[in-house]
Amino acid sequence: MATFTPEVQQAFADTILPGNLKWPKASEVLEFPIPYLSNVEFLPEVLSLEIWKRLVGSSPESRQVICAELERDLASVFQTLLAMIFSAYYSHPTVLALIEAEHSYPARPPMPEGQTFIALTKPPVLPSATTPLWRKDGTDTCEKVFAMQKTDPTKEWKLEEIMTWHTS
Amino acid sequence: MNSQSRVVIIGAGASGAAFAWRLAQQGVKSICLERGDWLDPNEIPTNKPDWEYRRITDFSPNPNVRKGKSDYPILDADSEIKPLMYNGVGGSTIMWSAHTPRFRPSDFKINTLDGVGFDWPISYWDLAPYYEINDAAMGTTGVAGDPGNPPRTPRDTPSLPYGVVGRKMADAATNLGWHWWPSDGNILSTSHGDRPGCNNCGPCEMGCRIGARASVDITYWPKAIAMGAELILNACVSHIEVDSKGLANKVIWFDQNGTQQAIPCDYVVMAANGIGTPRILLNSVSKQFPNGLGNSSGQVGRNFMLHPIAGVTGVWDEPVQSWAGNDAFCLLTQHFYETDSSRNFKRGYEMQVTRGQGPLISALGGFGLNVPWGQGHHERFDQVFGHVATVAVTCEDLPTDTNFVSIDSHVTDRFGVPAAVMNYELEANAKQMKSHGIESAKAWLSAAGAREVLVNPLLAQAGFHLMGTTRMGTDPNISVVGQDCRAHDVPNLLVIDASVFASSAAVNPTPTLQAIALRAADQLVKSGL
């Protein structure tokens, strides 16, 4: 990664994750070089892009324009970098703690604890059993089952009954 | 059939496992060649900080992204929808959401009823008993008594929690006059048998570390193996050979060292999914079958159906806890499922309520959330994270000659076996249907109080329902297998996966393909060559 230096990575990361009054910008939580990026194999022509040099030292507005150029011209490279840097950021303990505080999303992976639903004051009421709503297929079995379901929509069916339905 | 017959199953996924179990129950042993291995639940990364990144890289359901050692190349440049599958014991039930609605009776008679597509030679009623057997084997959550479908037995455990989103969408459907019902799923909401209840962690399709969500490596296979079924792992099948009478007599495969092996067989049972099965058959060229095994009709690989799915996402002002619970289903409506002459398309679609994603996928704008990078990123993240739900509009796909799976000998897997090629574009009926479905989903979300509605008109990374490529029928000129899943051309060759689907319906295919596999096993046992 001759030209994708830690300084370039930081400039890129702070452009795509600029932060605001509530959220930290990328460089406030991440360390550079980003470990994820050491595993990625970019083509030499990607590494030697002039665009990386232009990023460092540019104003935030200019960097936004430069990154948009990269997104337009080298979409897959841009998306790969975006996913890696976003992943590093959104799995960082500091950011996860903020997400938990702001959105009640637990600051941990989904397993092993799982998630707890907000208790509903009143669960939805199931549509009441009515005449069958499905379309008949013209077979004798269909007519028979449809009629039985219509007569007794709340009947609890047994496997033994259903086992007699097949025709072949 | 003779119980000493050598039955070789290719593929240890949903259908292969069900078939092996059903045979073993009746004293018939089988050998299954599986190109992958067992997945240790401890390898499922949902307990790791970077679990979402793994989901879009080496733990992706897309084999072309994941590039695992058991995956084979699938050329998808000419397909609007990309392939999703898992290669290993359990097949794609390792990476599925376990949503298990059944086909409806009309789905088997679409030509008779609506003048489109192709009728099945069997009916819903032929499969109904096998749906029940499969539900019991997999473990099913839900609520019996849905007037929108034929009767079924009580489910093993109650439906999964609705959550805030489910409540809003259920009430909205009721207010719109649309029938809805909680989804059936192969997920246990409470402990049942030796499996625990779901802890609502969310990303079911990454695999379930605790086994609350079913996959056939924990349901069918342990029982089948205990009864004598045999699994050969890391066995990549290249082709099938035939004898002078044109019967399949040998399956050729490569072991993990790249050594070619051959296994003699009395029956070969294809269970390698709607892409893998035609790939092997088309690669099985012989003097008797110069265009591929069982392909005198030229139909192997044809009639490739996927489900075009639109994702319509609602954003609420208030938090709706998007990340809690199974992310792929909650409840559904089949209000627009059947043909209505007032619409400009035949057949119909299902809408299921899915939930939102974790922080990374949300930040990346997954499901069309329209989250920018750079200026405004964090503000938009705050608006959408935990505030969304997506209605998946699943459209019935009709079979066409122009959508097909083929092979390309210029690109091969690591053993030199030609790659599969997906050739697929949405047909006109599906486009009209999808447009209608998007408007319905928008209306539903708005009625549920969503402040903003975002439309992803086609989920490209949604090619998990691979159907139709060796379809079932009575006419050998336009179908590949008969009602008993035996190839018209090769009576000791069976296909039991979703390749045999004559129509796609508008629902997830797994319970239907498993019911077909169970029925085919019974029919094979009852009969003989």
DSSP string, B472-490: B-S-TTT-SB-TTSBBSS-
Instruction: For residue B324, give the nearest of A17, A117, A123 by CB distance.
Output: A117
pLDDT of residue B3: 59
Stretch A68-96: mean pLDDT? 94
pLDDT per residue as tens digits for the range B396-447: 999 999 999 999 999 999 999 999 999 999 999 999 999 999 999 999 999 9
Higher pLDDT, B327 or B259: B259
- Which residue in B has a C-alpha nearest to residue A109's C-alpha? B47
As a whole number, mean pLDDT of residues B301-310 equals 98
Question: Closest Cα of chain B to A98: distance in Å?
Answer: 11
Residue among B50, B150, B181 whose CB faces A87 most closely: B50
β-sheet bridge partners, residue B231: B32
Look at residue B2 in the predicted model and tell me its pLDDT.
Answer: 59
B411 touches chain A (CB under 8 A): no
Q: What is the mean pLDDT of residues B112-123?
A: 98
Asked whether B120 and B502 are in contact (CB, 8 A), the reply is: yes
Residue window 169-208, chain B: list those with CB within 8 Å of chain A: 170-171, 174, 179-182, 198-203
Contact of B126 with chain A, judged by CB distance below 8 Å, is answered with yes
Q: For residue B56, which residues of chain A lie inside 8 Å, CB to CB?
A: 83
Residue among B102, B112, B114, B123 with most chain A CBs within 10 A, to mutate: B123
Is the pTM of the predicted complex or chain greater than 0.90?
Answer: yes
B228 and chain A in contact, CB less than 8 A:
no
Rounded CA separation B457/B313 (Å): 11
pLDDT mean over A42-65: 84
Q: What is the pLDDT of residues B462-501, one digit of tens each?
A: 999 999 999 999 999 999 999 999 999 999 999 999 999 9
Q: Quote the CA–CA distance of B356 and B203 in Å, as a whole number.
A: 10
Mean pLDDT score, B134-156: 96
Looking at chain A, which residue has its C-alpha nearest residue B126? A166
Pairs of residues, one from chain A and one from chain B, whose beta carbons lie less than 8 Å apart: 228
Residue at token pair 């897959």: A76
Separation in Å, CA B433 to CA A28, B106, B178, B428: 48, 17, 18, 9
Task: Give the residue from B523, B493, B441, B421 showing the smallest Cα distance to B127.
Answer: B523
A135 vs B106: CB contact, 8 Å cut-off?
yes
Closest CA to B391 of B190, B166, B71: B166
Q: Where are the alpha helices (DSSP H) in B145-270?
A: 163-176, 220-226
Give the C-alpha separation, B238 to B234, whole Å: 12
For position B328, what pLDDT does the model report? 87
Neighbours of B92 (CB within 10 A): 22
| 8 Å CB contact of A166 and B129 | yes
- Choose among B129, B143, B201: nearest Cβ to A111: B201
B382 and chain A in contact, CB less than 8 A: yes
Q: Which residues of B touch A36 (CB under 8 A)?
A: 53
Is the pLDDT reported for residue A1 higher than 50? no
Strand partners, B471: none
Closest-CA distance of chain A to residue B262, Å: 36
Least confident of A48-62, B149-163, B510-524: A48-62
Q: What part of B 339-378 touches A (C-beta under 8 Å)?
A: 358-360, 363-364, 373-375, 377-378
With contact defined as beta carbons under 8 Å apart, do A110 and B202 qualify?
Answer: yes
Which chain B residues in 44-73 lie under 8 Å from chain A, judged by CB atoms? 44, 46-53, 56-57
Say whether pLDDT at B507 is over 70. Answer: yes
Which residue of B lies nearest to A26 if distances are taken between CA atoms? B374
> Smallest Cβ distance to A134: which of B105, B182, B363?
B105
Across the interface, whether the CB atoms of B125 and A142 are under 8 A apart is answered yes
Given this model, what pLDDT does residue B222 score? Answer: 98
Question: Which member of A126, A132, A142 has the closest CB to residue B143?
Answer: A126
Average pLDDT over residues B102-131: 98
Q: Flag whether pLDDT at B298 surpasses 60.
A: yes
- Contact (CB<8Å) A135/B113: yes
Q: What is the DSSP string of B235-298?
A: -EEEEEEE-TTS-EEEEEEE-TTS-EEEEE-SEEEE-SHHHHHHHHHHH---SS-TT-TT-TTS
Report the pLDDT averaged over residues B310-335. Answer: 95
Interface contact A139-B360, CB threshold 8 A: no
ipTM for the complex shown: 0.94
Any idea which of A47-61, B85-99, B348-362 has the lowest mean pLDDT?
A: A47-61
**pLDDT higher than threshold 70 for residue A36:** yes
Pairing of strands B331-333, B349-354: antiparallel
Contact criterion met (CB < 8 Å) for B174 and A125 = yes
> In the β-sheet with B236-242, what is the strand arrangement from edge to edge?
B236-242, B248-254, B260-264
Residue B529, pLDDT above cutoff 50: no
Tens of pLDDT, residue by residue over B347-369, are 999 999 998 899 999 999 987 88
Q: Grade residue B1 by pLDDT with cuts at 50, 70 and 90.
A: low
pLDDT at residue number B321: 94
Q: Which residues of B touch A20 (CB under 8 A)?
A: 378-379
Identify all chain B residues contacting A159, using CB atoms and an 8 Å cutoff.
129, 132, 136, 153
pLDDT of residue B188: 97
Edge-to-edge strand list for the sheet holding B74-75: B74-75, B418-423, B404-412
**In chain B, what percentage of residues exceed pLDDT 90?**
97
Per-residue confidence band for A43, with pLDDT thresholds at 50, 70 and 90 = low
pLDDT band at A122 (very low <50, low <70, confident <90, very high): confident
Contact indicator for A109, B53 with CB cutoff of 8 Å: no
Cβ B56–A134 below 8 Å, yes or no? no
pLDDT at B528: 67
Q: Taking CB atoms and an 8 Å limit, are A114 and B127 in contact across chains? A: no
Q: Is B442 on the interface with A (CB under 8 A)?
A: no
Minimum-distance CB partner of A110 among B179, B203, B375: B203
CA atoms within 13 A on the CB side of A165: 30
Q: How many DSSP H helices and E strands does chain B contain?
A: 12, 17
Q: How confident is the model over A29-51, as a mean pLDDT?
A: 79
Q: B525 φ, ψ to 5°?
A: -65, -40
Out of B108, B151, B319, the one facing A157 most closely (by C-beta) is: B151
Nearest-Cα distance to chain B for A45, in Å, is: 22
What average pLDDT does the structure give for chain B? 96
Q: Does B160 touch chain A (CB under 8 A)?
A: no
